[in-house]
A and B are shown apart, each in its own frame.
Chain A
Amino acid sequence: MIEFEVSVVNRAGLHTRPAASLVKLTSKYKSNVFIEKDGMRINGKSIIGVMTLAAEVGSTLSFEIDGIDENEMETEIKELFRSGFGEPI
């Protein structure tokens, strides 16, 4: 199991479209993933869960991944957040 944190850098925050990109990514992997923010803990493969987080620009999300492909998933998630989901930063 690995744990790490990422920040939301795109201006518009984690709205529907980025949330969808994230879930599309996590769903490709076999590992389980949970995301925590402000005491909320949600399933990272559920768009409904991710959208509940209401993560605005500047906020930090804690990831917890557990499974055989956890390292690959970590690399991709970090890259996705770093790029701001391809949106204006």
Chain B
Amino acid sequence: MINHKLSGIAISKGIVIGKAKRLDFDKNQNELRTLNVFDPEVEKTKFDLAKNSLIIDSKRIIEKYNHKEKIKSIIESEIMFLQDVELTNGVNNLINKGNRCETAIEVFFSNYIQLISNNGNNLSKIKVNDIQFLKHKLIQEINDVENDYSEVRNRVIVTSLLDTDEILKIHENGAIGFVTEFGSNLSHSSIISRSLNIPAVFGVNSLLSLIKDNDEIIIDGYLGNITINPDKKTKKLYKEKQNKADEELKSYQDYKDTHVKNKIGSKIRFYSNINNMIDLENTLINNADGIGLVRTENLVHEIEEIFEEDIQFEIYNRIAESIYPKTVTFRLFDFGYDKLNLNDEKENNPALGLRGVRYLLRNKHILETQLNALIRTSINGNVKLLIPMVTFTEEVIDIKRIASKVSNELNIQMPKIGTMVETPSAASLIKQIAIESDFISIGTNDLMQYYFAADRNNEHVKEFLDYRDKSFIQLLTNIKKTCDKKEKELIICGQIASDEKSLMLLVKKGFLNFSVIPARILLLKKTLLK
């Protein structure tokens, strides 16, 4: 097949030319696997490999935190757990009975968690979370052992669907572009592709039946298309386009120190969204006005022991210190849904399930540990907190009560606490919520999917998700009016502000604060100044 052009959704800007590397491990994998002959020895080896690899990881973390006794001991306990004969025997017995390695781990852990929960005291809850997290890491490790990332360096990744963990791992192993058959513009993996500045096109129909390993591919992340095995002329054309794009990128640098104002002279501020330490670097490079949103649940990659307060504190503090004296808003863990899901039971509809503040208020030890770490960080004086997925005003009041208790115990002044408005009910209750909150942040990605009742990860309903829909913009404007009246600061988060046309519309409507992917800031400033 020569010079074959296919179109999809433009996910992350940029042009890249490279050799294709197919990763066929997702979705289809389960079907393929059931065809394989079951061999208990293979399953046991898989389990051993995953355990050993996690033990090596943990030892590396111990070296890093060698001077911190508490951190060291908690990670040592994880190593002991992995080396425990009860775990090895238990899982191997289940494998001998005909279970695959992942199933055996699931069954072992759920029996164990059940046993501990039966004791029913507070202590068990803390342990159950530690154990859940370890199970999550083990299963993930097994998938990784199966997924060979060694051949992705300098290749264009072609696959059916990417999740956020995969994207980060593939990126760390040096891939230069992503093309997928499914996926949409609002999925977390698309947000991550953009924040990593890697050209990507998602949602290319029948992609996997058309591309072979080592086919040459051009990704045009501007127009959202790819070319398979381009001829010389096409390649030359794209190389020119690539050079032009690089130059344009350089020209944005002129806008680093430029201030942007709206028609009546009010300053427009661009804050950054942060998922990882790369985003933090980009925030500083692009001279953002502050950090508008730290998605703390996505820092799991940095916070290897997420439930350990001191480790959380180290990471939060590094972020707060780097951005000082500008402000940083940490959103409390938004577990569940398409992010790290720690719920014990599988939910039929996780987007409408136990996530955000709903999860936190039912798992108070996780909430309190995080609040302790964050409030300690707030001594820097530039820290604000944000509550995710609020449905009712009472949730804001509950969180504030717990935060105030933690602040008193630590003898530190309580930082400002804002509410993320991302459910239609919160948008409708904005008057009460604004009274209870120090500031308001609109999570437009989720608000939009709940407002239009259209899943933002489902490409079949993507036309329902319209940033510039009149009634949706009206909804945002109503929130703004209330915030103005109550004199509460308002910031817009989500993809809407990264879309140049929507941004111009919002600025026209008087919105002043936007939190976007740091790599977009200079381009957006340039758009507004044009």
Contacts and interface: CB of A to CB of B under 8 A. Distances in A.
A59 to B, nearest CB: 10
Contact of A54 (B76, B85, B121): B121
B86 interface: yes
Interface in B66-96: 70, 73-74, 76-77, 80-81, 84-87
A13 B123 contact: yes
B106 interface: no
The B interface is mostly helix, strand or loop, or mixed, namely: helix
Contact of A15 (B115, B119, B126): B126
B87 A16 contact: no
Given A20-B80, A23-B80, A56 B73 contact: no
Contacts of B84: 46-48
Nearest to A45: B85
A55 B116 CA distance: 11
Contacts, number: 57
Interface residues of B, number: 23
Contacts of B81: 47-48
B76 A15 contact: no
A55 B119 CA distance: 9
A14 interface: yes
A21 interface: yes
Contacts of B70: 17
Contact of A17 (B73, B121, B122): B73
The A interface is mostly helix, strand or loop, or mixed, namely: helix
A51 B127 contact: yes
Interface string B116-143: 1001011110110011000000000000
Contact of B126 (A16, A21, A23, A46): A16
Contact of A46 (B76, B85, B123, B124): B85
Nearest to B123: A13
Contacts of B119: 54
B74 A16 contact: yes
A48 B77 contact: no
Interface in B357-404: none
A54 B86 contact: no
Given A43-B86, A54-B123, A20 B73 contact: yes
Given A13-B123, A15-B126, A51 B116 contact: yes
Contacts of A15: 123, 126-127
Nearest to A86: B69
Contact of A56 (B76, B123, B131): B123
Given A47-B81, A56-B123, A20 B116 contact: no
A17 B73 CA distance: 6
Of the candidates A16, A24, A54, A55, the one having the most CB atoms from chain B within 10 angstroms of its own CB is A16
A35 interface: no
Given A54-B123, A56-B121, A17 B74 contact: yes
A20 B81 CA distance: 9
Contacts of B121: 13, 54, 56
Interface string A17-29: 1011101100000
A17 B77 contact: yes
Contacts of A47: 77, 80-81, 84
A47 B80 CA distance: 7
A46 B123 CA distance: 18
Contacts of B112: 48, 52
Contacts of A51: 116, 127, 131
Contacts of B74: 16-17, 20
A54 B80 contact: no
B124 A48 contact: no
A20 B87 CA distance: 15
A21 B281 CA distance: 38
Contacts of A14: 123
Interface string B314-355: 000000000000000000000000000000000000000000
A67 to B, nearest CB: 17
A21 B130 CA distance: 16
Interface in B124-183: 124, 126-127, 130-131
Interface in B207-222: none
Contacts of A17: 70, 73-74, 77
A20 B305 CA distance: 15
24 contacts: A12-B123, A13-B123, A14-B123, A15-B127, A16-B74, A16-B77, A16-B126, A17-B73, A23-B80, A24-B76, A43-B85, A43-B86, A46-B84, A46-B85, A47-B77, A47-B80, A48-B86, A51-B116, A52-B116, A54-B119, A54-B121, A54-B127, A55-B123, A56-B123
Interface of A: 12-17, 19-21, 23-24, 43, 46-49, 51-52, 54-56
The 10 closest A-B pairs by CB, nearest first: A20-B77, A54-B119, A48-B86, A47-B80, A13-B123, A46-B86, A48-B84, A46-B84, A16-B77, A16-B130
Interface of B: 70, 73-74, 76-77, 80-81, 84-87, 112, 115-116, 119, 121-124, 126-127, 130-131
